[in-house]
């Protein structure tokens, strides 16, 4: 079987420098298994839905993936942001009212407090740091109570939410 | 349940609750904290509210299924009238969760 090693070699005396660009260097993941609720009308951390990673090079990227499961007590809106430290890193642009990572509109459902929305998170970040970096999800509601990992109606049935970060060689 | 108990005491309270744990409440936006004993005191009433809410929701769906029989150009049978009235009366006198859970729905004629 032929073996191909990608890399650069300027002369016969050079050590071959492999090109690991795109390789996954490390993976860190957190799964929140219990519920969370808030009536906050400003962005607040979802307890337990954060993950920290220390990139090994400033040129490496961080792929953030995950899933947030949310519900609401009323036919209202709830907002979610993906945050690095205290900075929103993946928000829409050009919205007339509010730019967000993802939002949930339970007005669309007749049985709004039974609706459990699964919201995937995918973002390739360039933190340009080798310091420990925390990624987390924040949440707020326009009115009423917003829930994570359970439906608005009651806590009879539970779900899980996850955030995973992968360091990708640059 | 903790969130509902808090809102029963202060409908405008801003807070977060993790793991539905009374010891993991974060009070937000200047909300005056409510004591755990006051919250605990509301839990029984909240449980009854939730049970009744669930029962009414199921009852209302059953009523909606036969709403068309109440149209002016349809004659409703007395059996159906009794059935619908039984559904409307279903929540009468239900003052404990045990009573709510023991409710049996009338049979549709």
Q: Give one DSSP letter per residue of chain A, joined into a string.
A: ------EE-SSTTSPPEE--TT-EEEEEEEEE-S-EEE--SS-EEEEEEEEEE--S-TT-EEEEEEEEEEEESSS-EEEEEEEETTEE-S--SS-SS---SEEEEGGG-TTGGG--EEEEEEEEE-----S-EEEEEEEEESSS-EEESB-SS-SSSB--EEEEEEEE--
Inter-chain CB proximity A39 and B13 less than 8 Å:
yes
B20 close contact with A: CB closer than 8 A: yes
Q: Which of A93-97, A122-126, A163-167 has the lowest mean pLDDT?
A: A93-97
In total, chain B counts a number of residues equal to 109
Contact A168, A22 (CB under 8 A): yes
Residue with tokens 């009573």: B99
Query: Quick check: B108 pLDDT over 80?
Result: yes
Query: Which residues in chain A have Cβ-Cβ distances shorter than 8 Å to B57?
Result: 111
Contact A73, A152 (CB under 8 A): yes
Residue A11 pLDDT? 64
Nearest residue in A to B27, CA atom: A40
pLDDT per residue as tens digits for the range A3-54: 555 666 666 666 666 778 999 999 999 999 999 999 999 999 999 999 999 9
**Assembly ipTM:** 0.77
Query: Quick check: A65 pLDDT over 80?
Result: yes
The CA distance from A62 to the nearest CA of chain B, in Å, is 28
Distance CA A32, CA B75 (A): 55
User: Which of B14, B24, B57 lies nearest to residue A41, judging by beta carbons?
Assistant: B14
pLDDT per residue as tens digits for the range B50-83: 999 989 989 999 999 999 888 888 888 999 999 9
Chain A residues near any Cβ of chain B (below 8 Å): 34-42, 44, 47-48, 73, 111, 145, 153-155
């Amino acid at each position: 079987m032929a073996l191909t090693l990608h890399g650069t070699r300027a002369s016969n005396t050079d050590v071959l420098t492999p090109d690991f660009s795109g390789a996954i260097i490390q993976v860190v993941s957190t799964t929140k298994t219990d519920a969370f609720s808030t009536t906050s009308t400003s962005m607040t951390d979802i307890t337990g839905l954060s993950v920290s990673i220390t990139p090994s090079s400033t040129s490496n990227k961080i792929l953030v993936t995950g899933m947030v499961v949310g519900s609401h007590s009323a036919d209202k809106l709830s907002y979610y942001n993906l945050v690095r430290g205290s900075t929103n890193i993946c928000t829409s642009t050009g919205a007339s009212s509010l730019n967000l990572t993802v939002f949930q509109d339970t007005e669309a459902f007749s049985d709004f407090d039974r609706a459990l929305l699964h919201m995937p998170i995918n973002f390739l970040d360039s933190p340009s740091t080798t310091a420990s970096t925390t990624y987390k999800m924040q949440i707020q509601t326009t009115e009423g109570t917003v829930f994570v990992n359970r439906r608005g109606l009651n806590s009879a049935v539970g779900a899980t939410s996850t955030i995973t970060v992968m360091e990708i060689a640059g | 349940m903790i969130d509902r108990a808090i809102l029963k005491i202060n409908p405008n309270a801003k807070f977060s609750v993790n793991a539905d744990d009374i010891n993991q409440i974060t009070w937000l936006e200047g909300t005056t904290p409510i004591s755990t004993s006051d919250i605990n005191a509301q839990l029984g009433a909240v449980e009854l509210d939730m049970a009744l809410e669930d029962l009414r929701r199921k009852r209302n769906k059953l009523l909606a299924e036969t709403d068309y029989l109440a149209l002016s150009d349809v004659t409703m049978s007395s059996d159906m009238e009794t059935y619908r009235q039984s559904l409307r009366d279903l929540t009468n006198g239900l003052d404990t969760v045990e009573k709510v859970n023991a409710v049996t729905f009338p049979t549709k004629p």
